[in-house]
């Protein structure tokens, strides 16, 4: 076998990732700088980041989280608070600026550089994940799903009603459905090309870099001490604890890491859409992200990437642009967009019936579903 | 797995300092007293068995020793330290490892990965280390993997099935992987819950010899729950008999075999 072949064999994921990312990087050059296709790809990229985060929680560690939207919200509000004129009269209406772009530096309010905002989002969302996780993760199985669902809904209510909640100096927590806007555009040191009115390509490349980083983190975590502990906990909590895996700490780390990815993605989407509006954080979004990883294959990194891109495009392109008029042409009085969640549900149903392990399943899961792997739960003890 | 012949049980309790002791331990589930007032100790480097009819509370007792259950009353001390309320993972870190009556491997992980999980407590890589993979973490990962393979070979698993998923292994091999996984945590006390269940006499003999080998080569103390009387009588220096959650007899194999209470528990009252 030649050296190249051997390298490809040993580093299959690295090679696949490099090829896919390079191919993706040249993609927007074939479209108009303001093409809606590029816009769709940017959204898809942000969803890939989110889905990979949720995959750590649900796919690796086996904790069914139905409130993932909470972390999207925290991430988006981080950029809303720290990169807009929301706190308009801080510092005597002069504003606080840290490495902010030229335009943002002239505005009142708090304006941090986007990279700092992302860092802050990781910290804030990571801590939020820990706080939500600490009481939740002592529960098992379905109870986790119920409690996280409630938390997701609580955060949404806070977002919607935040315009009635005063924090410091009479400032409101959120602007509710009015949205915090405008949010600063991304501003990298030495590059001021982020302007969604003229050119979407820099946003696309930015989200591609995020995807690359998140992919790297996912692969590395999966093949590590922590990744093995996550899978062990998913397979059999009692055995894992008996082998020295601290359950609460291990689950919390899964939860916080997944949360941080959601936060990064939320901060990016907040900045890209230039507004943070409460109705983005409805319960349905948690299910939307969950559907991506189920469609692609729980626990399978490539499957999740595929699932996220597919569902994102179905949501932003196929339903509203390609098939939207189908009901009308059949003489029915509605647009297809009103059915989007029905369509996602139908797709999940199809996958469950035809290919329960997902489109690109992980080796382990495929095994579990096709060969009935499982553990004997006859000693059903509650592990503290 | 050839071994030097074990010290012949000679009636005297094994010498050495006490490694694990329980004092008046009881476990009550609602109205059911599963384990009742058991006081018991295991000297270092001994092989001790717990026997008793089904439902005698043996596995419940094991679960208390490993922290899966907390005793309702009483204390458990390991190497002088009270572990009655300690979390199972911390007990493993202190040096107690176990296998399960119904094999509980991580079914969709390979044999090697299963054993690597066993070393979790002996590893240092955290979240950041796992992401950045500095040389220290890479070295640790390599060492842990190599050690896992060594341990698998040590328990007699041929190298070509090290990378098989646990669920695809033959029953006897799964038992071996479970023992390897327990050994990987570098225990001082190994708890085996019915290790010969489902084995033929020949396999049981091999395992019996292996237990002695473990004590000699790895300085282990072994506590086992076992139903196969040939294994129990052949390997144990001391036997504790539980019935209905209570300790009804204790002593070396000869004494226990002659104890009328034990005969009664197993066979029913005579006459």
Is the pLDDT score of A374 beyond 50? Answer: no
Q: What are the extents of the domains in chain B?
A: 18-95+187-267
What pLDDT sits at residue A72? 96
Least confident window among A289-293, B87-91, B255-259 = B255-259
The answer to whether A383 and B68 are in contact (CB under 8 A) is yes
Banded model confidence at residue A7, pLDDT cuts 50, 70, 90: confident
Banded model confidence at residue A324, pLDDT cuts 50, 70, 90: confident
Chain A residues in contact with chain B using a Cβ-Cβ cutoff of 8 Å: 217, 220-221, 224-229, 231-232, 235-236, 238-247, 253, 257, 364-365, 367-368, 371, 373-376, 378-379, 381, 383-384
Q: Which residues of A touch B86 (CB under 8 A)?
A: none
Q: Does B259 touch chain A (CB under 8 A)?
A: no
Chain B segment 172-231 residues within 8 A of A by beta carbon are 181-182, 185
Banded model confidence at residue A337, pLDDT cuts 50, 70, 90: confident
Q: How far is B92 from chain A (nearest CA, A)?
A: 5
Instruction: Calculate what percentage of chain B has a pLDDT beyond 70.
Output: 94
Q: Does B101 touch chain A (CB under 8 A)?
A: yes
Partner-chain contact B88 A217, CB within 8 Å: no
Q: Does B167 touch chain A (CB under 8 A)?
A: yes
Q: Which of A217, A231, A367 lies at the smallest CB-CB distance from B131?
A: A217
Name the E strands within B92-225: 96-98, 189-193, 221-225
Residue A182: cis peptide before it, omega within 30 degrees of 0: yes
Q: Does B142 touch chain A (CB under 8 A)?
A: no
The CA–CA distances, whole Å, from A306 to A285, A359, A360, B258 equal 18, 8, 8, 69
Q: Which of A229, A242, A365 lies at the smallest CB-CB distance from B88?
A: A242
What pLDDT sits at residue A315? 92
Is the pLDDT score of A119 beyond 50? Answer: yes
Partner-chain contact A244 B100, CB within 8 Å: no
Is the pLDDT score of A294 beyond 80? Answer: yes
Partner-chain contact B107 A368, CB within 8 Å: yes
Q: Does B93 touch chain A (CB under 8 A)?
A: yes
∠ CA A142-A147-A152, rounded to 5°: 125
Q: Does B120 touch chain A (CB under 8 A)?
A: yes
Least confident window among A21-25, A104-108, A378-382, B21-25 = A378-382
Total-model pTM: 0.89
Choose between A366 and A137: higher pLDDT. A137
Q: CA B190, CA B195: separation in Å to the nearest integer? A: 12
Is the pLDDT score of B4 beyond 60? Answer: no
Is the pLDDT score of A141 beyond 70? Answer: yes
Chain B segment 4-23 residues within 8 A of A by beta carbon are none
Q: Which residues of B touch A228 (CB under 8 A)?
A: 109, 113, 116-117, 120
Q: CA A20, CA A306: separation in Å to the nearest integer? A: 12
Is the pLDDT score of A250 beyond 90? Answer: yes
Q: What are the extents of the domains in chain A?
A: 1-30, 33-282
Partner-chain contact A241 B89, CB within 8 Å: yes
Choose between A208 and A32: higher pLDDT. A208
Q: CA A351, CA A296: separation in Å to the nearest integer? A: 9
What pLDDT sits at residue A366? 63
∠ CA A222-A228-A229, rounded to 5°: 120
The answer to whether A297 and A74 are in contact (CB under 8 A) is no
Banded model confidence at residue A329, pLDDT cuts 50, 70, 90: confident
Q: Which residues of A touch B123 (CB under 8 A)?
A: 225
DSSP bridge partners of B49: B224, B239
Banded model confidence at residue A378, pLDDT cuts 50, 70, 90: very low
Partner-chain contact A244 B120, CB within 8 Å: yes
State which residue of chain B sits closest to A223, comparing Cα positions. Answer: B130
Q: CA A283, CA A150: separation in Å to the nearest integer? A: 9
Least confident window among A48-57, A282-291, B1-10, B212-221 = B1-10
Banded model confidence at residue A365, pLDDT cuts 50, 70, 90: low
Choose between B152 and B16: higher pLDDT. B152
Q: Which CATH superfamily is domain B18-95+187-267 in?
A: P-loop containing nucleotide triphosphate hydrolases (3.40.50.300)
What pLDDT sits at residue B15? 61
Which pLDDT tens digit goes with each residue over B206-226? 999 999 999 999 999 999 999
State which residue of chain A sits closest to B125, comparing Cα positions. Answer: A225
Is the pLDDT score of B11 beyond 50? Answer: no
Neighbours of A145 (CB within 10 A): 17
Is the pLDDT score of A371 beyond 80? Answer: no
Q: Does B165 touch chain A (CB under 8 A)?
A: yes
Nearest of A122, A145, A150, A138 to residue A249 by alpha carbon: A138
What pLDDT sits at residue B3? 41
Banded model confidence at residue B271, pLDDT cuts 50, 70, 90: low
Mean pLDDT of A371-381: 45
Q: Does B63 touch chain A (CB under 8 A)?
A: yes
Banded model confidence at residue B239, pLDDT cuts 50, 70, 90: very high
Which pLDDT tens digit goes with each residue over B118-159? 999 999 989 999 999 999 999 999 999 999 999 999 999 999
Partner-chain contact A244 B92, CB within 8 Å: yes
Q: Does B87 touch chain A (CB under 8 A)?
A: yes
Neighbours of B16 (CB within 10 A): 12
State which residue of chain A sits closest to B100, comparing Cα positions. Answer: A239
Is the pLDDT score of A105 beyond 90? Answer: no
Is the pLDDT score of A9 beyond 50? Answer: yes
Return mean pLDDT, chain A: 87
Mean pLDDT of A294-306: 93
Is the pLDDT score of B10 beyond 60? Answer: no
Class of the A33-282 domain? mainly alpha
Is the pLDDT score of A187 beyond 90? Answer: no
Is the pLDDT score of A160 beyond 60? Answer: yes
Q: Which of A232, A253, A376 lies at the smallest CB-CB distance from B106?
A: A232
Q: Which residues of A touch B120 (CB under 8 A)?
A: 225, 228-229, 232, 243-245
Q: Does B66 touch chain A (CB under 8 A)?
A: yes
ipTM above 0.85, yes or no: yes
Q: CA A280, CA A270: separation in Å to the nearest integer? A: 10
Mean pLDDT of B84-99: 96
The CA–CA distances, whole Å, from B118 to A241, B181, B215 equal 10, 5, 19
């Amino acid at each position: 076998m030649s050296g190249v072949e051997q390298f490809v064999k040993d580093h299959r994921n690295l090679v696949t990732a490099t090829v896919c990312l390079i191919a993706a990087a040249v993609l927007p050059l074939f479209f108009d700088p303001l093409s809606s296709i590029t816009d769709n790809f940017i959204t898809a990229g942000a969803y890939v980041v989110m889905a990979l985060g949720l995959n750590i929680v649900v796919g690796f560690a086996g904790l069914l989280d139905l409130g993932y939207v909470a972390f999207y919200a925290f991430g988006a509000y981080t950029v809303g608070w720290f990169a807009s004129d929301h706190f308009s009269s801080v510092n005597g209406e002069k504003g606080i600026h840290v490495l902010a772009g030229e335009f943002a530096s002239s505005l009142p309010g708090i304006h941090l550089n986007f990279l700092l905002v992302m860092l802050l989002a990781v910290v804030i969302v990571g801590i939020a994940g820990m706080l939500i996780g600490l009481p939740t993760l002592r529960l098992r199985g379905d109870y986790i799903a119920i409690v996280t669902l409630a938390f997701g809904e609580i955060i949404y209510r806070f977002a919607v009603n935040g315009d009635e909640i005063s924090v410091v100096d009479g400032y409101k927590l959120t602007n509710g459905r009015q949205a915090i806007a405008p949010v600063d555009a991304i501003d990298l040191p030495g590059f001021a090309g982020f302007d969604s009115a003229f050119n979407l390509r820099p946003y696309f490349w930015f989200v591609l870099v995020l995807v690359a980083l998140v992919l790297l983190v996912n692969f590395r975590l999966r093949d590590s001490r922590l990744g093995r502990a996550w899978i062990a906990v998913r397979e059999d909590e009692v055995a894992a604890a008996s082998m020295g895996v601290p359950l609460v700490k291990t689950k919390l780390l899964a939860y916080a890491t997944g949360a941080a990815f959601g936060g990064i993605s939320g901060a990016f989407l907040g900045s890209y859409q230039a507004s943070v509006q409460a109705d983005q954080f409805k319960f349905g979004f948690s299910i939307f992200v969950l559907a991506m990883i189920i469609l692609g294959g729980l626990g399978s990194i490539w499957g999740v990437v595929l699932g996220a891109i597919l569902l994102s495009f179905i949501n932003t392109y196929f339903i509203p642009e390609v098939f939207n008029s189908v009901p009308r042409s059949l003489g029915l009085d509605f647009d297809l967009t009103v059915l989007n969640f029905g369509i996602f549900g139908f797709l999940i149903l199809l996958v469950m019936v035809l290919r329960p392990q997902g489109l690109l399943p992980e080796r382990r899961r495929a095994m579990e579903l096709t060969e009935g792997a499982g553990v004997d739960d006859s000693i059903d003890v509650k592990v503290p | 797995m050839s071994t030097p012949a074990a010290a012949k049980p000679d009636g005297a309790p094994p010498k050495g300092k006490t490694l694990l002791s329980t004092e008046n331990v009881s476990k009550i589930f609602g109205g059911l007293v599963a384990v009742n007032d058991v006081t018991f100790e295991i000297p270092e480097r001994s092989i001790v068995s717990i026997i008793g009819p089904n439902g005698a509370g043996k596995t419940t007792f094991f679960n208390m020793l490993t922290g899966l259950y907390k005793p309702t009353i009483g204390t458990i001390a390991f190497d002088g330290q009270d572990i009655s309320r300690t979390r199972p993972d911390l007990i493993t870190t202190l040096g107690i490892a176990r296998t399960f009556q119904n094999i509980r491997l991580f079914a969709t992980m390979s044999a090697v990965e299963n054993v690597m999980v066993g070393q979790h407590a002996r590893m240092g890589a955290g979240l950041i280390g796992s992401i950045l993979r500095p040389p220290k973490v890479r070295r640790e990962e390599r060492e842990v993997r190599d050690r896992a393979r060594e341990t698998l070979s040590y328990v007699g698993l041929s190298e070509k099935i090290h990378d098989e998923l646990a669920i695809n292994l033959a029953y006897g091999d799964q038992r071996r992987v479970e023992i390897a996984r327990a050994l990987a945590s570098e225990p001082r006390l190994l708890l085996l819950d019915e290790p010969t269940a489902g084995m033929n006499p020949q396999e049981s003999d091999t395992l019996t010899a292996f237990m002695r080998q473990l004590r000699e080569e790895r300085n282990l103390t072994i506590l086992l729950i076992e139903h196969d009387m040939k294994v129990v009588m052949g390997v144990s220096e001391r036997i504790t008999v539980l019935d209905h959650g209570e300790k009804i007899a204790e002593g070396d194999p000869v004494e226990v075999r002659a104890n009328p209470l034990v005969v009664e528990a197993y066979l029913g009252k005579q006459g």
